[in-house]
Amino acid sequence: MLEETSAPHPVGITEARDVLYQKFQKRIVHNPDLDRTLVSFQANKRTPFYSWFKYKEGFSQRLVAYLLERLGQNTPGVLLDPFAGAGAALFAARTLGWQTKGIEVLPVGIYAMQARLVASRIDAAVFEKEISNLKLLDFAHHYDERHALSHIAITKYAFREDEEQQLIGYISYCHKKLKNKDVQTLLLYAAFSILEEISYTRKDGQYLRWDYRSGRSQGKKVFDKGHIKKFREALEEKLSLMLADLKGGLMQGQLLFDKEPAQNPGPEPHLYEDSCLNLLPTLPTGSIDFVLTSPPYANRYDYTRTYALELVYLGCDHEDVKRLRQTMLSCTVENKDKQAQLKQYYESLGRIADYEFVNRTFEQQEALQEVLAVLDNYKDEGRLNNQHIVRLVKNYFYEMCFVVFELSRLMRRGGVVAMVNDNVRYAGEEVPVDLILSDMAETFGLTTHNIWTLGRGKGNSSQQMGVHGRTELRKCIYVWKKD
């Protein structure tokens, strides 16, 4: 049973946002089936494969099954995730018989999904035999400089020197000695999955936190990571987990859902390593039945920093990381304007009229322009802790406007878009991401059936609570339909 949310809309909301809130108020409903565990990585912590590598920016596989069933999508069709991450939506839907397409710009996610495909077909006995062979090796004896990590500034000295030597020796052994490519892929993925555990770093939202033992300068509060695992210790634990999952037959999906998997699972996901801003405009109109996705939030999180160790492991250098940061959907203060780039791209596709329509929709979004004006004023008053926050918010919605337009174009009649996203706040000013994106969606021909909220929202940061008090932001799943 869904019920209208009883929480009042944010204090201090001004005219244009108030109008928008009134427009969608009856569609903002609390869904008691949803909680933080379901709409985040937390429910995947003990799920086969997803427990191998800590990819915290995804949602749970159980959410996929719930949404497909709850939204009446019981006949498998084509599902798209334009921000595929580690592929939770793709592989869960595939288990239920869907054809799936995923777009992901970050090599970390692509690498994880490729390993997932290997895991679904590998012979567990062959994998176990190779793991047994590893126990007899001193990886340092296999060290080859050609496989050394080319560190960038934000990853230097992340590992103890002797432990990094073990890591590189292991990578060298896998490349030089293993003939079975599937076994090689999973053994290399095991090392990829323990980089944080054996390093002096810990992922912490917008950046990497560095343990005091690293020798790097500390902030006001010294960080002690606690026990830092040695390479062999972490590797053996990871390989034991992987082998147990493979031998248990759990990679085929039969124990992933409350409902039975399809007798005929869908084909392997079609993966695109690209920005969805580039890829979506090239897909055929009316070719998608269901979109399930969670875009980056407008919260300043820089995934090229939090996953810097993994990117270096995959061979990215300083310029690669800089390029990735600018190619990804704008969600950090370092992202530059893509307006000229998008205009040129749509012109090259012969779709300048579409570009102008999206651009006009963005400019006429009164609630958004109101937010930008308020934040711009805060910048002038020195109330923002970074002067580029206004640019971040503007770029985020500008690019998402194109994403939403393309999703509407791609949807077949009766198709559904389900999008997981959070509202954000800067200098105490709430940015109603759910309302603004839903308004854009309606301009492009989608109907907002519901903005489902979690019973408990997202609190503001400790710094903001000290200044603005404790208030919650809506954590949502938007349900848009092509009626």
Check whether residue 329 and residue 456 sit in a common domain.
yes
Domain interval for residue 199: 124-250
Q: Do residues 456 and 387 make contact, with C-beta atoms less than 8 angstroms apart?
A: no
Same domain, 176 and 223: yes
Please name which of 201, 420, 121, 168 lies closest in space to residue 293, comparing C-alpha atoms: 420
Asked if pLDDT for residue 207 goes beyond 90, the answer is no
pLDDT score of 226: 95
Query: What's the pLDDT tens digit per position in 25-82?
Result: 999 999 999 988 888 766 556 677 888 998 887 788 889 999 999 997 778 999 999 9
- Strand arrangement of the beta sheet that strand 99-104 belongs to: 3-4, 28-30, 447-453, 475-481, 411-422, 288-293, 78-81, 99-104, 270-273
In sequence order, the β-bridge partners of residue 422 are 475
Residue 201 in any domain: the answer is yes
Q: Using CA atoms, how far apart are residues 243 and 124, in angstroms rounded to an integer? A: 7
Query: How many domains are contained in the chain?
Result: 2
Q: Is 190 domain-assigned?
A: yes
- In this predicted structure, what is the pLDDT of residue 262? 65
Residues 190 and 65 in one domain: no
Do 362 and 440 share a domain, yes or no? yes
Residues in the chain: 483
What pLDDT digit, counting tens, does each position of 420-447 carry?
A: 999 999 999 999 999 999 999 999 999 9
Establish if 258 belongs to a structural domain.
Answer: no
Segment 386-390 mean pLDDT: 94
pLDDT tens readout for residues 177-200: 999 999 999 999 999 999 999 999
Confirm whether 353 is domain-assigned.
yes
Residues facing 425 on adjacent strands: 430
Question: Does position 280 have pLDDT exceeding 60, yes or no?
Answer: yes
Is 255 a domain residue?
A: no
At residue 43, the pLDDT reads 56
CATH number for the domain that contains residue 437: 3.40.50.150
Q: Is residue 83 part of a domain?
A: yes
**Residues 239, 96 share a domain:** no
Q: Both 340 and 408 in a single domain?
A: yes
Instruction: Assess if residue 309 is contained within a domain.
Output: no
Q: What is the mean pLDDT of residues 8-19?
A: 67
User: Which of 204, 219, 250 finishes a domain?
Assistant: 250
What pLDDT is attached to residue 41?
Answer: 65
Asked whether residue 345 is assigned to any structural domain, the reply reads yes
Rounded Cα gap, residues 4 and 32, in angstroms: 11
